[in-house]
């Protein structure tokens, strides 16, 4: 079956750095996405990786290793507004998005 694993919850301190991991086993791979979802709101797109390596976008970076079935989202200079759930999703061989259950990130002052 298809499976995406990410930690259920993480806690970090304002101004610090946090890394959210995602491992996947899917039928085919056509890219990996990270979305942010604030409580009670819709998911919004953060990043897309299809090749191995690091993609940097401001305070957020996303890394992919296809051989290891592994990705991480790195958030730097954490702000209170970064408190949200972070969803990892893989585009499979049928171009369907398979979603992880999300990681709830709690930022403490």
Partner 1 sequence: DAEITQSPRHKITETGRQVTLACHQTWNHNNMFWYRQDLGHGLRLIHYSYGVQDTNKGEVSDGYSVSRSNTEDLPLTLESAASSQTSVYFCASSEIVAGANEQFFGPGTRLTVL
- Interface contacts to partner 1, rule CB under 8 A: 4, 30-31, 33, 41-45, 48, 50, 87, 89, 91, 95-102
Please state the closest distance from residue 108 (CB atom) to partner 1, in A.
23
Instruction: Please say which residue, 78 or 90, places its beta carbon nearer to partner 1.
Output: 90
Q: What is the DSSP letter of 65?
A: E
Do the Cβ atoms of 76 and 17 come closer than 8 Å? yes
Q: What is the DSSP letter of 80?
A: G
What 3-state class would DSSP assign to 93? coil
Helix (H) / strand (E) containing 46: strand 44-49
Please state the closest distance from residue 33 (CB atom) to partner 1, in A.
8
Please state the closest distance from residue 56 (CB atom) to partner 1, in A.
16
């Amino acid at each position: 079956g298809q499976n995406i694993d990410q930690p259920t919850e993480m806690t970090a301190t304002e101004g610090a750095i946090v890394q959210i991991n995602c491992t996947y086993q899917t039928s085919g791979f056509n890219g990996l996405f990270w979305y942010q979802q604030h409580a009670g709101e819709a998911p919004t797109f953060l990043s897309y990786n299809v090749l191995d390596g690091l993609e940097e976008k401001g305070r957020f970076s996303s890394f992919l290793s296809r051989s290891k079935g592994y990705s991480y989202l790195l958030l730097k200079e954490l702000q209170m507004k970064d408190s949200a759930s972070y969803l990892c999703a893989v585009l499979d061989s049928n171009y369907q998005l398979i979603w992880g259950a999300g990681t709830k990130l709690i930022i403490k002052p």
